[in-house]
Amino acid sequence: MKTFVTTLFIGLLAFSLNAQAENYEPAHEGWHVQLSDAYQESVQTGKPIMAYFTGSDWCPPCRRFSAAVINQPEFNEWAKEKVVLLELDNPRRKQVPQEIREQNQNLRQAFQVTRVPTVWVFNLNQNAQSGEMEIEPLGRTGFMPSVEEFTASVEQMLD
């Protein structure tokens, strides 16, 4: 897949979110909810970020995908070795801090996500000259019925 680099808007990466945002918990254990945290782990580990755009409490395909793939021990073992996990949830019944909602909306727009579940795998880099953050997309996928199919699809993006 041909990759391209998209520059993020300065406001997209608000690395100083308030305490309310810091206490917000993801729908899936072990996932980051703030891009800044995922970025820091990505820099430390050298792994790309895997962003999961979801509607955890209202989207039937998202719930099926979470049950079949995201919540499976085999997926979690694979993910620990290969990617940094970022959950970008758009729930209807769960209270989401304003900063997280804005971050998730900005990322949906940046990645042109029009339906969920959608998963993007990307590297996030800081431009040495401008200081701006740049997205290097590696690939995109959506609902898959099994861990094996999903991880095989993502592995192709990582190669």
Q: How many residues does the chain have?
A: 159
Answer yes or no: is 74 within a domain: yes
C-alpha 34/C-alpha 21 separation (Å) is: 8
> What is the structure's pLDDT at 2?
42
List the domain range (segments joined by +) for residue 80.
6-25+33-137+144-158
Helices 73-82 & 147-158 angle (0-180, nearest 10): 10
Query: What is the predicted pLDDT for the residue at 9?
Result: 45
Q: Looking at residue 113, which CATH number applies to its domain? A: 3.40.30.10
Distance CA 156, CA 1 (A): 9
Domain count, the chain: 1
Contact 84, 50 (CB under 8 A): yes
At 105 the pLDDT is 96
Q: Is position 124 within any domain?
A: yes
Residue 53 lies inside a defined structural domain of this protein: yes
pLDDT tens digits in sequence order for the chain, 159 residues long: 444 445 554 344 444 444 456 677 888 888 999 999 999 999 999 999 999 999 999 999 999 999 999 999 999 999 999 999 999 999 999 999 999 999 999 999 999 999 999 999 999 998 889 888 899 999 999 999 999 999 999 999 999
Asked if residues 93 and 55 have their Cβ atoms less than 8 Å apart, the reply is: no
Domain-embedded: residue 1 = no
Residue whose token pair is 């995109």 = 140
Q: Which of 114, 118, 115, 121 lies closest to 138, judged by CA?
A: 121
Identify whether 54 is part of a domain.
yes
d(CA 147, CA 143): 11
- Is 90 part of any domain? yes
Examine residue 20 and state whether it is found in any structural domain, yes or no. yes
